[in-house]
Structure 1
Amino acid sequence: MVWSHFTVAFDEGLAAARGWAAEHGHLLAPTEATWENYPIGTWLKNQRAAARRAEDPLAKGQQAGSGAGGLSRERRRALEEIDPAWCPAWPVAWQRCFHLARMHRQTGGSLPEREASCWCRARTSGAGCRCSDWSGMRCAACSSGCSARY
């Protein structure tokens, strides 16, 4: 049997990703997030960076999907099975806010109509969303005491 530290490390991260997603409904964990003492936020950030390297055809002169230090297609598929939006082309903070707004609406909540109105704040990171910021593809911090969950 051939043992690979990289395979074991990925499998541990994937297990933590499953646990995080089961509780939070997504793989958009803030960088400082942990799951049962595993640094899931950092691990996911690193997996997104590896996925982008793998898709960059200019990286080391490789063909797309085989970049040096990139995420293999098999590993990317494993993460996509958990959350198809785990590695968005736009900023993760924006995707996280979009997820919060979608979940808020699905549970009957409404979004404010006036600009700069706050409707959520993430407990795990302190960052929040203002729906008025979405038109510019960005998410702003919130200073109110609301309590939506990431």
Structure 2
Amino acid sequence: MVAEWVSFNVIDTERQDWARGWAKLKEYVEREGHARVPYGHREGATPLGQWVAEQRRAFTAGEMNGLRARRLEQLGMVWSLADKRFQENLEAARAYYEEHWTLWAPRTAAMLDRPVGQWLSNLRRPGALDGHPEWKTALEAVDGDWNPSWPAAWQRH
């Protein structure tokens, strides 16, 4: 019994550190309503933002066991912030398309409190979608002509 206690409380500090990080994240989620912790955020002496970033890295690298991943997902963990932001902006783009029948929004256009015009303009830049073919497919599903070869002025009219 003593050996088990020593093993858990002294030798297995990684498990304790993870449990403390998870508890701090749970407190954060209960207070803020989400698990998107800024990298520099601290909860007391705990660098929670760094801890969350390390959990994302471990998950992406396949170094996290399923139980930990499920526990974090129950708190609302977002594994890819870029994908999450893309989905939020895509929802705004869909709303813009339903109202204007095009995704050739002026840069100043906003929808659902998101700068959809600037976002789409950024995505039209050469190489912006490299490594994200699923994003291009999602945009084409909304508007097949979201990024045509003809001029923007012509498309808008």
TM-score when normalising by structure 1: 0.53
- Amino acid paired to 1:18: K
CA deviation after TM superposition for structure 1 residue 34, in Å = 1.4
Question: Which among 24, 30, 51 is matched to residue 22 of structure 1?
Answer: 30
Query: Could you tell me how far 1:93 is from its partner in structure 2?
Result: 5.2
Other-structure match for 1:108: none
Tell me what 1:130 maps to. 115
Aligned counterpart, 2:84: 95
Q: Whole-Å Cα distance in 2 between the matches of residues 46 and 27 of structure 1?
A: 14
Q: How much has 1:71 moved relative to structure 2?
A: 1.0
Structure 1: give runs of 5+ residues left out of the alignment.
55-69, 103-112, 120-128, 138-150
8 A Cα contact 1:18 1:82, kept in partner: yes
Residue aligning to 1:86:
78
Kept in 2, the 8 Å contact 1:51–1:76? The answer is yes
Counterparts of 1:77 and 1:41, CA distance in 2: 19
For 1:73, the equivalent position in structure 2 comes to 66
Q: Which runs of 5+ in 2 are unaligned?
A: 92-104, 124-134, 136-157
Alpha-carbon distance in 2 for matches of 1:33, 1:96: 20
Larger RCO (CA within 8 A; separation ≥ 6):
1
SS in 2 for 1:29: coil
1:30-75 per-position Cα deviation (integer Å, ceiling 9, x unaligned)? 1111123321110000000000111xxxxxxxxxxxxxxx111111
Whole-angstrom CA distance in 1 between matches of 2:52 and 2:29: 12
The aligned counterpart of 1:31 is 39
More helix by share: 2
CA RMSD of aligned residues (A): 3.4
Alpha-carbon distance change, 95 to 118 in structure 1, aligned in 2, over 3 angstroms = same
- TM-score w.r.t. the length of structure 2 is 0.51
Percent of matched pairs sharing the same residue: 19
Is the CA contact 1:16–1:40 (under 8 Å) kept in the aligned structure 2? yes
Q: CA deviation at 1:7?
A: 0.5
Q: How many residues align?
A: 101
